[in-house]
A = this chain, B = another copy of it.
Amino acid sequence: MDSEFRLIISCPDRVGIVAEVSSFIASYGGWINEASHYSDPVSGWFFMRHCIRSSSLPFGIKAFKDKFSPIAEKYKMKWSLFDSSMKKRIVLMASRESHCLVDLLHRWHSKELYCDIRCVISNHEHLKRLVDAYGAPYHFVPTSRKSKENAFERIIQLVEDNQADLIVLARYMQILPGDICDTYQNRIINIHHSFLPSFVGAKPYHQASERGVKLIGATCHYVTEALDAGPIIDQDVMRITHHNTVEDMIRLGRDVEKLVLARGVRSHLEDRVLVHGNKTIVF
């Protein structure tokens, strides 16, 4: 696909925003591939995402930003402009389970996900062989009780060295320190293996079995310091019956986890997710 500029805007709602933005784009001959609007009647905020074919514009991203700035100021916009041809840099983190990790690697490898997977960090060694097949560097960073502090220093170092735009916790079973959550606000995506807010914390399938639910689920969300409480990007569920043991749930749940995480990561990579308070707008 031709590259496009993605203009993402949040601002207090008022008359004339769409007119001003679209007139700006049209005045330079910009061809709009896709446009989405949402006016939140509760918060009184307005959200907007435009994809403009880059080749239709007479200037690049830097000039676009300069020229658009006055409009942004006028409407007190929070805004970003992304070039779709710039691959976002991702650091993947995983623990023992490989399903989410390999799923993302395979979508990347088969060009379904447009991004740059810089490396994989794991607190286990055994996933190395599969990761190698996909050609991604593998860093084993153990997180035993003793080594934990060092581990997170090493992890931050790796994330910084790789200039990561996004950290994806592909079933990484460790809780990240609060300062990492803060530094990478809305840039760390986690997959939780329950339909949040049900079954926060450890062993959600065991909790689900205990409660006797008839559906199990998974939730993809941005990580905040509060455990499993960050803005939800996507969720899904699948039906189970009394026949299904906890082991079945763990097995069946993998398919939902993979799918929901992949959808959430894709939405993020396409700059479709706008966070407002603790909620998301997903265009």
Could you list which residues of chain A lie within 8 angstroms of chain B, going by C-beta atoms?
Answer: 15-16, 18-20, 22-23, 25-27, 29-42, 56, 98-99, 102, 106, 109-110, 112, 129-130, 132-133, 195-199, 211-215, 217, 231-237, 241-243, 245, 251, 254-255, 259, 262, 278-282
Contact between chains at B214 and A231 (CB < 8 Å) = no
Known: A18-B26, A98-B110, A196-B213. 8 other contacts (CB 8 A): A15-B26, A19-B19, A19-B22, A19-B26, A22-B23, A36-B37, A102-B106, A214-B282
Distance, CA A32 to CA B19, complexed state (A): 11
Closest B residue to A50 by beta carbon equals B18
Which 6 pairs from chain A and chain B are nearest by CB? A133-B133, A212-B279, A19-B26, A19-B22, A16-B26, A18-B22
Given A198-B195, A278-B212, A279-B212, does the pair A18, B30 have CB atoms closer than 8 Å?
no
Residue of B18, B132, B242, B280 near A32 (CB, 8 A) is B18
Contact between chains at A15 and B56 (CB < 8 Å) = yes
Contact between chains at A39 and B34 (CB < 8 Å) = yes
Copies of this chain, count: 4
Q: Give the dominant DSSP class at A's interface.
A: mixed
Return A155 CB to nearest CB of chain B, in Å: 25
Contact between chains at A214 and B232 (CB < 8 Å) = yes
Q: Which residues of B contact A15 (CB under 8 A)?
A: 26, 29-31, 56
Contact between chains at A245 and B41 (CB < 8 Å) = yes
Contact between chains at B235 and A214 (CB < 8 Å) = yes
Contact between chains at A237 and B234 (CB < 8 Å) = no
Q: Which residues of B contact A18 (CB under 8 A)?
A: 18, 22, 25-26, 32, 35
5 A-B pairs (CB sep. < 8 Å): A19-B22, A34-B37, A99-B110, A197-B211, A211-B232
Return A113 CB to nearest CB of chain B, in Å: 10
Distance, CA A29 to CA B243, complexed state (A): 23
Q: Which residues of B contact A233 (CB under 8 A)?
A: 214
Q: Which residues of B contact A102 (CB under 8 A)?
A: 102, 106
Given A26-B16, A198-B197, A232-B214, does the pair A255, B259 have CB atoms closer than 8 Å?
yes
Q: Which residues of B contact A129 (CB under 8 A)?
A: 133
